[in-house]
Structure 1
């Protein structure tokens, strides 16, 4: 794994281009060609691609830091980077032949993912035949491959790598927040998937990786890695809102008070301090979780269920902290935050939508950890 300190710097430098396109992306419900080109040029979309194909194979902390910078400028772009990066990471667990097919045209090939097994499947000679409808498929409008869940394989479901050319994209993503992720529905009938493009998900989740995975990056615990990475867009959104609110505090007053500058108000000072604390704690969680995930991968060990459940617990808490920080900051800023011309309203919409992802649901994450801590079996999911 590589640290690649240039990746977060390049992501931060891309902010003007991403900010310029953000509103258009939101209205068009997809990332613009200029946005995607910018993400490609920074190297973000190949950050977690195996190095042997020309990818970055970077450490999780590096990917989190860089994706956070992208989400500051455009949360939907940050989310797509996270989803496609997750697809690159999981692709590194597949047999070598499948990886060679995915990256046959170079390291900038992208893989969108829908892990839920929303299909029918039957095993045939040499592979599987799938029919199904998979959603939401964030980033599918910019992907060349899709990684789709299906029931079968090892009793706990499997993942299939399918070329996007074999799938139909149905325009279903009409939402209030995260609109530009283009998280539409993928449909396919009688898709033949050869055995080498199938990964038993339950086996991977529990650390039973395919033979021939020498790189530490792809020996990482799957769900802890994905959950930790998911914190990055939340951090980016919350940090961007904090920066915007603080930047305006010297010129914006407080209505129906004698304060001509928000910065002079003790209540405002306390509000931004409390929000900053929440964001800082969320960032510490992300950094610690990344260190745990990569530390085990480097050592060739696999975290036990309690350790994996703790990462999931912390992800739910981090998502909640970032959302609360945004709400606190917007309240301190005032009602003008909800004017269409104010960028804050878009961040509010986006974080309230994104932080409701099932993997980051605080109640579910807490129950998963509580059961693991108390030894209650079975847990509510195998995706730990």
Structure 2
């Protein structure tokens, strides 16, 4: 494989294989081994792994584009790629000793994440002892390590924990994003050595462990995660647009004289408006990635307002993609909701995925509004 492969092209080439396993994944409520193997072949799962461990250490834009391509074929696969990619990025923020442990077996080690501090914790000599239940944990069934939030010493913190020390409870019974396998992780009296702990609030504000020179892992934490989250939404909306447009020659409009949807002015307007919303979401993703990577490469850190703006943009992009899907299936007609139609699965998936707390449009707007007006404190540190 070349040093800098064309990730979006490799992801697009995987479409037939990913689509073939999608229904099976949905029934299994997890990604199949075949799907994970194909994703590994594309290189997208190691794209944000540090290069010194054999990873891609890529900038954000090609990773977003590749993940969008994955989500077009299988939204759950795209979501898991985004979560595991985020885990790889966050792993690169930890002290070098922790990274060496995580990637001791090579760059295809996968790390799932649950950032919310859902545990009890007590500090002991040399580290912390945690007990808790963390969910939802997308991609945990395919991971060797987990990044788990916990209440640290005066601020929230993240712990790197081997999956072998955790139990997985089968709790993920949902209408949408079923194949993400976003189950619950549980652990009791887990000892986490100090070098596998990252103070979360400090990292959010750009205070990272010393001695790690890579610019990729000096990027703003929450803006990176928020910008990356747009990718699966874009993939789902783009797939629905392509499918609805492809069927417009063969499908008529019931109770009208239109034998082809494409001849209807109302249908043309619906497609145009939906395509514009997807284009706007894509521009948001591209701009957010450029801001994140630009600061990282320059060795600067975006201020509070710039970070809040990216949160706002992520919430708006998710809303645009969901609206585009809704408008497209309305234009397509009730047939979109037949079990045999692939469109109904995209509707279920985007309505589930776009409700993620990081992309909640009301919360994102309040975060941005407070930042614009200088109202302190903000409603969250996750900016």
The TM-score, its normalising length taken from structure 2, stands at: 0.99
Given that residues 223 and 383 in structure 1 are in contact (C-alpha distance below 8 angstroms), is that contact kept between their aligned partners in structure 2?
Answer: yes
Report the Cα distance in structure 1 between the residues aligned to 2:5 and 2:41, rounded to whole angstroms.
Answer: 16
1:192-212 per-position Cα deviation (integer Å, ceiling 9, x unaligned): 000000000000000011101
1:197-241 C-alpha deviation (Å, 9 max, x unpaired): 000000000001110121110000000000000000000000000
Whole-Å separation in 2 of the counterparts to 1:268 and 1:215:
49
Q: Secondary structure at the match of 1:377?
A: coil
What is the count of residue pairs matched by the alignment?
A: 382
Cα separation, 1, equivalents of 2:6 and 2:381: 36
CA contact (8 A) 1:50 1:56 kept: yes
User: Residue 275 of structure 1 contacts residue 328 of structure 1 at CA under 8 Å; is this kept in 2?
Assistant: yes
Deviation at 1:5, TM superposition (A): 5.3
1:307 equivalent to 2:306? Answer yes
Change (3 A) 1:3 1:266: farther
Q: 1:352-367 alignment to 2 at 5 Å?
A: 352-367=351-366
Match of 1:200 in 2: 199
Partner Cα distance (2:80, 2:116) in 1: 18
Structure 1 residues 1-384: aligned runs within 5 Å: 4=4, 6-153=6-153, 155-384=154-383
Superposed CA deviations along residues 130-151 of structure 1, whole A, max 9, x for unmatched, are 0000000000000000000000
CA deviation after TM superposition for structure 1 residue 246, in Å: 0.2
Equivalents in 1 of 2:307, 2:212: separation in Å?
21
Contact 1:5 1:62 in 2 (8 A): no
- 1:59 CA drift (Å): 0.6
For the 8 Å contact 1:92–1:99, the answer to whether it is kept is: yes
Give per-residue Cα distances to partners, 1:11-45, cap 9 Å, x unaligned. 00000000000000001100000000000011111
Measured in 2, the distance between the counterparts of 1:152 and 1:209 equals 16
TM-score (norm: length of structure 1): 0.99
The separation in 2 between residues aligned to 1:305 and 1:358, in whole angstroms, is 19
Within 2, Cα distance between the matches of 1:306 and 1:59? 22
Q: Which runs of 5+ in 2 are unaligned?
A: none
Please report the RMSD computed on the Cα atoms of aligned residues, expressed in angstroms.
0.9
Per the alignment, in what secondary structure is the counterpart of residue 258 of structure 1? coil
Deviation at 1:6, TM superposition (A): 1.0
Is the CA contact 1:25–1:180 (under 8 Å) kept in the aligned structure 2? Answer: yes
Ranges of 4+ aligned residues in structure 1 off by more than 4 Å: none
For structure 1, the 5+ residue unaligned runs are none
- Please say if residues 316 and 365 of structure 1, whose CA atoms lie closer than 8 Å, have aligned partners that are also in contact: yes
2: CA distance between counterparts of 1:261 and 1:368?
Answer: 45
